[in-house]
Amino acid sequence: MPAEKYKAVIGLEVHAQLNTSTKIFCACRSEYGGEPNTRTCPVCLGLPGALPVLNREAVLKCIRLGLALDCEISFASIFARKNYFYPDCPKNYQISMYDRPLCENGSIDIEADNNKRRIGIERIHLEDDAGKLLHEKGDISNIDFNRSGVPLVEIVTAPDIGSAAEAAAFLRSLRQYVRYLGICDGDLEKGSLRCDVNISLMLRGARELGTRTEIKNLNSFKAVRSGIEFEIERQSSLLDAGKPITQVTQLWDEGEKKLVAMRGKEEAHDYRYFPEPDLPPLIVDDRFVAEAAADMPELPGVKKQRFIDEYGLSEYDAGVLTVEKELADYFESLVTETSDPESSCKWVMREILGQLKDTGITIAEFSLSPRMTGELLILVKEGVINLQAAGAVFSEMLSSGEAACDIVKRMGLEQISSSEELGKMVDEVIAGHKEEVVRYQDGNLQLLGFFIGEAMKMSRGKANPGILNELFKLRLHRRD
C-alpha cells in the first residue's frame, strides 16, 4: 500500500472572502451575487490611472483571524504585485503580500485518523480576488468582474499535513474559526472559501522531499479528500514504476472523479513579485491590534471545553454542539430556559439536528425559538406529558407555530400519572397475556418492555412510562 511505503507531505493554501461591505481597494459593494458586471469601477477593473485605497475593515478582520490562530502580527507589511495573465484578472496582476505578510507563525489543532495534531500556519495575508469565468456551451466563455477586488485572506499552512483526512479536518476547523469570528460565511459552494493543495510523496525514512504538485480550487470537503487521495495514488503509481513526478497544477473533476492537468506549476519567480507602487507600507500599532481583538468571541475549542466542564457534556456531544456558533448559542439559551443541560442536549442532538438534516435548513432558519422549545421540555420535566407525546407536540409546533401548552390542551395529551388509573391498565395487560407472564416470571425479564408497550397502546401513548415500569415490576413479582 502507498501509505506504508511513502509519506505524504501536504500543505494547504486557503482563500477566504472577507464579508466587508465594500471591496478591498474601492467602494464597490462586495456581497455575493448581483447582475454580472454591475458592481465594478475603474479601480477593480484595473483601468489606467485608477488608484487603490485600502479597506480598513479588511485589515481588522485579517488581524482578528491571526490573533484567533495564535499568529504573530506584523506591525509593518508591504503589498506587492503578483503578475500573471488570465482573462478574469483585469489588471494582469493581483495585489497581494509576498515577503512581509500581516500574520505569521500560527497554528490550528485538529483531530483526524484517531489522532490529535497541531498544524502550523506559516502566514495569513490580504489580497484582492479575481473575477469569475462563466463557461457556456460550446467555446463561449464570459467574464463577471463583480468578484474582482473582493477582499481575501490567504491562509498558508506549513507542510505538516500527512493525509487527506487531516487536510479535510484542517479545512473544517478553519471554516469553523472564520464563521465564529464572523469574518466569512465559509460557503465552499459559492466560493467564499476555496482551497488549493500542494502534495509531494517521499519514501518513509528519507530526508529529501519529492516533487510537489498542486490541485486548485477544491470547493468541498469531499473534493479535498478525493482529490488528495487520487493524487497520492497517482504519484505512488508513477514512483513504483520508476517514472518521474512532473510539477503540474491540476483541477479536480468531480463528475469524472479524476484530476485534470491545467498547466505547469508556477513558482514565486514566475509571478515577478515587486512592491505595489500605488500603496504605502501597511503600518499597524498596538491600538489597532487591540481594536481587532476587542470583538473576539469565545473560540470553538474554548467553548467546547467549557460545555464539557460547565454542563457535564461528553466530548462528542460538546463537539457537535459547538461546530456552529449559532447552534452553540441555541443550546445555551435552551439551558437557560430549562435549567437542565442533559435534557436540552439530548433534544437538540436528536430532535432539532434531525429536523435540520431532514429539511436542509440551518439553526438560524429554525422556526422554534429556545423559549418555545424550552416550554416543551419543561412540560416533560414536570410530568405533564411524556417523551412520546412530546415528539407529537414538537411536530405540531413546527407546522402550526403554536405554543406547546396550547397544543397539549387542544390534543388532550396530558400524561396519565394516576397509579389507580394506570394500575387498572396493568392488571388488564397481565390478564390478557398469561403466557408472557409465565415466561417473565421464569426469567425472561426483557418482556417488561413488551408489557409497558401494551399499556402505552392502551393509553394511546399518554401513560407515564416510569410509573408503568414500577407497577408491572410490583405485580409481576413471583411470590413463592
Q: Are residues 385 and 446 in the same domain?
A: no
Q: Are residues 219 and 343 in the same domain?
A: no
Last residue of a domain, one of 411, 435, 459: 411
Q: Are residues 162 and 260 in the same domain?
A: yes
Residues 6+ positions from 49 with CB-CB distance below 8 Å: 42
Residues 6+ positions from 281 with CB-CB distance below 8 Å: 76, 77, 78
Backbone phi and psi for residue 303, each to the nearest 5 degrees, phi listed first: -65, -40
Q: Are residues 232 and 308 in the same domain?
A: no
Q: Are residues 88 and 177 in the same domain?
A: yes
How many domains does the chain fold into? Answer: 3
Range of the domain at 363: 300-411
Q: What CATH number does residue 436 fall under? A: 1.10.10.410
The residues of the chain scoring below 50 in pLDDT are 1-2, 479-480
What pLDDT, in 10s, does the model give residues 38-64?
999 999 999 999 999 999 999 999 999
What length does the chain have?
480
Q: Are residues 76 and 97 in the same domain?
A: yes
Q: Are residues 211 and 315 in the same domain?
A: no
Last residue of a domain, one of 253, 270, 291: 291
Q: Are residues 441 and 333 in the same domain?
A: no
Q: Are residues 326 and 427 in the same domain?
A: no
Last residue of a domain, one of 256, 291, 326: 291
For the four alpha carbons of 326, 328, 330 and 336, in that order, the dihedral sign comes to negative
Closest C-alpha among 328, 322, 327 to residue 173: 322
pLDDT at 267: 63
Q: Are residues 89 and 189 in the same domain?
A: yes
pLDDT at 138: 74
Q: Are residues 366 and 330 in the same domain?
A: yes
Q: Are residues 407 and 423 in the same domain?
A: no
DSSP per-residue string spanning 345-360: HHHIIIIIHHHHHHHT
Rounded to whole angstroms, the Cα distance separating 205 from 210 reads: 13
